[in-house]
């Protein structure tokens, strides 16, 4: 476990990426007890600086001894780098909170959303996994419903923004939009098809079962986080021409009957959720309203009449914040609370 201190030495690995940048900003916003901040990225970023608490912090390249005296390391540098460097960091006595897919389904590594399963942090052996962005916002909503009425099955369709792929994808959407509006040829580098003014039912690689890796992440991670393999989950993940925020259409089947008003009441009391649901006044969550927010917004809550105990809803969250950087920092905050 983390040793109790007044302030901690914190590292951000992958600091110059979209999520890494967000991690640095959130550490400052939430006044995390940072004694010293170290920033790491690839060789091409060495010499750059990022601003933290009115100081310019230099970006360093990782070395074998980089994690000496670091208490907590927030990783957002991809699975390959995490596979190499997270065990090195953990062996140095540092607690790693990793945003990649590398450790999520490792049975020895807790997969944590603080509002849902913070208790699993007690099991960590130096590495903690941050779930997939689309899974995080979904399980925040599923947990209170599961506690109230026990979920049997979830059908989810996601509408995921290009920032989930990274800065190059955001640049590509902007460039393609500009080119189309100026009657220029559209070039595709990040995605296999044009993303501007289009929708791609394809996130990550296709697997032998016809699903994509992203879809199977949602299936497997949901069961691990909720600690219940009996929940049936099926997912279709879709990339949409939105810069920031993932939206999801959820269909939930429960064992016990739960009405839409009961769902609203349960979710209104749950941490990290805003019920934003008055469709008669055109009030429902939209990416343009949720961008930059910490909470998961829920609306369009209604009964599914096609099954005995069914509920439909629409959820939106900022994928760079709750879907990645914020969740990692919240895990770090829980570790500080639990420090001995």
Catalytic residues: 133, 246
SS3 for 276? coil
Does an H or E element contain 136, and which?
helix 133-149
Contact 337, 331 (CB under 8 A): no
CA distance 119 to 113: 10
278 DSSP assignment: B
Contact 262, 148 (CB under 8 A): yes
The label of the residue with tokens 């302030």 reads 7
Q: What is the largest CA-CA distance in the chain?
A: 62
Q: Kindly provide the residue ranges of all beta strands, DSSP E only, lying in the chain, ordered along the sequence.
A: 8-13, 34-41, 49-52, 55-61, 72-75, 95-98, 127-129, 151-160, 232-239, 246-254, 273-275, 296-303, 310-317
Describe the crossing of helices 213-226 and 133-149 by its angle, rounded to 10 degrees.
40
CA distance 116 to 110: 12
Question: Which residues does residue 269 pair with via DSSP β-bridges, in sequence order?
Answer: none
SS3 for 229? coil
Angle (CA) 143 144 148, round 5°: 115
The label of the residue with tokens 């989930």 reads 164
Written in H, E and C, the secondary structure of 89-121 is HHHCCCEEEECCCCCCCCCCCCECCHHHHHHHH
């Amino acid at each position: 476990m983390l040793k109790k201190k007044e302030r901690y030495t914190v590292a951000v690995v992958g600091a110059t990426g979209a999520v890494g940048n967000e991690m640095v900003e959130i550490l400052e916003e939430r006044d995390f007890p940072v004694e010293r901040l170290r920033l790491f990225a690839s060789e091409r970023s060495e010499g750059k600086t990022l601003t933290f608490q009115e100081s310019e912090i230099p970006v360093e390249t990782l070395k074998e001894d980089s994690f000496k005296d670091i208490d907590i390391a927030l990783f957002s540098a991809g699975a390959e780098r995490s596979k190499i460097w997270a065990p090195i960091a953990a062996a140095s006595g540092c607690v790693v909170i990793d945003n990649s897919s590398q450790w999520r389904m490792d049975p020895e590594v807790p997969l944590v959303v603080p509002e849902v399963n913070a208790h699993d942090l007690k099991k960590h052996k130096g590495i903690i996994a941050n779930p997939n962005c689309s899974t995080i916002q979904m399980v925040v909503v599923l947990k209170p419903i599961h506690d109230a009425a026990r979920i049997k099955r979830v059908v989810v369709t996601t509408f995921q923004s290009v920032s989930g792929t990274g800065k190059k994808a955001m640049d590509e959407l902007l460039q393609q939009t500009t080119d189309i509006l100026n009657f220029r040829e559209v070039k595709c580098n990040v995605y296999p098809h044009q993303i501007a003014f289009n929708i791609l039912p394809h996130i990550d690689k296709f697997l032998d079962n016809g699903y994509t890796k992203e879809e199977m992440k949602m299936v497997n991670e949901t069961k691990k986080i909720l600690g219940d393999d009996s929940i049936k989950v099926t997912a279709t993940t879709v990339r949409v021409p939105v810069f920031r925020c993932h939206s999801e259409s959820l269909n939930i089947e429960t064992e016990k009957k739960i009405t839409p008003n009961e769902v609203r009441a349960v979710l209104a009391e749950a941490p990290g959720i805003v019920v934003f649901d008055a469709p008669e006044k055109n009030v429902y969550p939209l990416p343009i309203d949720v961008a930059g927010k910490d909470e998961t917004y829920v609306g369009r809550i209604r009964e599914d009449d096609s099954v005995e105990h069914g509920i439909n809803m629409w959820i939106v969250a900022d994928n760079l914040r709750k879907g990645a950087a914020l969740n990692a920092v919240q895990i770090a905050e829980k570790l500080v609370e639990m420090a001995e």
